[in-house]
Amino acid sequence: MLDHSGPLNSLGFAKAPEDTRVVVAMSGGVDSSVVAAELKAQGYDVVGVTLQLYDHGAALAKKGACCAGRDIHDARRVAEEMGFPHYVLDYENIFQDAVIDEFADSYLAGATPVPCIRCNERVKFKDLLETARDLEADCMATGHYIQRKVGPAGAELHCAADAGRDQSYFLFSTTPEQLDYLRFPLGHLPSKDDTRTLAAKYGLAVADKPDSQDICFVPNGDYAAIIRKLRPEAAAPGDIVDIKGRVLGQHDGVVNYTIGQRRGLGIGGLADPLFVVKLDPEAKQVIVGPRDMLATRTVPVREVNWLGDAPFDSRATWDVAVKVRSTRPPTDAVIRPTGPHTAVVELVAAEAGVSPGQACVFYDRGSSRIFGGGWIHQG
Strand partners, 318: 335
Query: Within 13 A of 11's CA, how many CA atoms are on the CB side?
Result: 34
User: Could you tell me the end-to-end alpha-carbon distance of the chain, in angstroms, rounded to an integer?
Assistant: 39
CB 139 within 8 A of CB 11: yes
What is the number of H-type helices and E-type strands within the chain? Answer: 10, 17
- Per-residue burial over 90-118, b = 16 or more CB atoms within 10 Å of its CB, e = otherwise: ebeebbeebbbebbbebbbebbbbbbbbb
220, amino acid identity: N
Options 67, 139, 159, 216, the catalytic residue: 216
Determine how β-strand 45-52 pairs with β-strand 21-25: parallel
Other CB atoms within a 10 A radius of the CB of residue 355 amount to 18
| CA–CA gap between residue 95 and residue 5 (Å, rounded) | 40
Examine the residue annotation and report whether 216 is marked as an active-site residue of this protein.
yes
Q: How far is CA 84 from CA 2, 70, 215, 371, in A?
A: 25, 19, 29, 36
Nearest to 44 by CA among 180, 141, 179, 127: 141
137, amino acid identity: A
Options 119, 139, 159, 360, the catalytic residue: 119
| CA–CA gap between residue 194 and residue 41 (Å, rounded) | 16
Strands (E), 127-180: 139-141, 146-151, 154-159
283, amino acid identity: A
Strands (E), the chain: 21-25, 45-52, 86-90, 139-141, 146-151, 154-159, 182-183, 238-242, 247-251, 275-280, 285-289, 295-306, 318-323, 331-337, 343-352, 359-363, 369-376
DSSP at 174: -
| Residues designated as active site | 119, 216
